[in-house]
Structure 1
Amino acid sequence: MIDREDLGSWIDGAPTDPSHVKGATWGLPAEGPGSVAPIGRRFVGYAIDWSLCAGASALLMDGSVHLVWPLFTAMSVVLLSLFGATIGQFVLGLRTVPVARRWPMPLRALVRTALLLLLLPTLIWNRDGQPLQDVAAGTAVVRA
């Protein structure tokens, strides 16, 4: 018979495997180029991209920020499709690579960006350090 102690409780938190390396699911290295990018650098990359789009929107719309979302979407989809990195990712030495499914990169970039704009998917991460928008798009942000 199984006891409560065998199952643990929600207070114990999610089960963890101390030997698991982020990105190992896709065969990414543990350290160095090609390894999963840390959350802090990803956040700073988003902030750089968003700031550039907000600045461009303010210049184009005479101080208004109504174009931030369309500019961010266009910039992300075009740059990820062509170069595998946005401006913020490039500045921080990151890139977005395909790790699952056989979709063309423009479709991956569109799915990833659409979910990124919803904000909620960016708060849900798997044990490989991959937020929900990357899981859905079959991508991973790695060190360049």
Structure 2
Amino acid sequence: MVDRKDIGSWLTGPDTSGISKYPGERLGLPESGPGSIARAGRRLIAIIIDWGIALLISNFAFAGDSWATLGIFAAEQILLVGTLGYSIGHRVAGIHVVRLGGGAPGPLAGLVRALLLCLVVPAVIFDPDHRGLHDKAMNTVLVRM
């Protein structure tokens, strides 16, 4: 016979034992300050700045061609994130990309992250730690400086 223990109770609510208190806790990152997960506001500022730079260059060099803008944006992401760990927008927003466990992302991570970021969808699908598919693919995380 089935009893209450077998089916549980909606009164107790969902099991929250596996949910972290803040983004990055499961990754061993601090809740706030340097090294904590970059929140949506900083990310949005960074991408607006990076896209604006690409748009300006595209307008002057390629008469505003949308594919040229996307290519310039991708090139900036590949070169700067792959070598320095941050783009111009990231730097202004005070965030940078690191591998989980520390260290620079490297050229391959810059390339893969940029390509997936240009597809948009992988960047807007993210986990509770605010890591998009482009970060999960390369085992990177965007943190505050």
Q: For 1:1-144, what aligned pairs fall within 5 Å after superposition?
A: 1=2, 2-3=6-7, 5=9, 19-99=20-100, 105-144=106-145
Aligned residues: 139
The one-letter code matched in structure 2 to 1:46 is I
Quote the Cα distance in structure 2 between the aligned partners of 1:16 and 1:121: 28
Structure 2 unmatched ranges of 5 or more:
none
Larger radius of gyration: 2
Give the TM-score, by structure 2 length: 0.83
Quote the Cα distance in structure 1 between the aligned partners of 2:138 and 2:77: 13
Quote the Cα distance in structure 1 between the aligned partners of 2:119 and 2:141: 18
The one-letter code matched in structure 2 to 1:113 is A
Structure 1 unmatched ranges of 5 or more:
none
For residues 1-30 of structure 1, the C-alpha deviation after alignment (integer angstroms, 9 at most, x for no partner) is 432746x9xxx8996756533112222111
The one-letter code matched in structure 2 to 1:121 is P
Q: Is the 8 A contact 1:58 1:65 kept in 2?
A: no
The one-letter code matched in structure 2 to 1:107 is L
Quote the Cα distance in structure 1 between the aligned partners of 2:66 and 2:128: 36
For residues 25-80 of structure 1, the C-alpha deviation after alignment (integer angstroms, 9 at most, x for no partner) is 22211110010011111012111101110110110013433311111111101101
Quote the Cα distance in structure 2 between the aligned partners of 1:19 and 1:104: 25
> What is the aligned-residue identity percentage?
32
How far apart are 1:104 and its partner, in Å?
6.1
Give the TM-score, by structure 1 length: 0.83
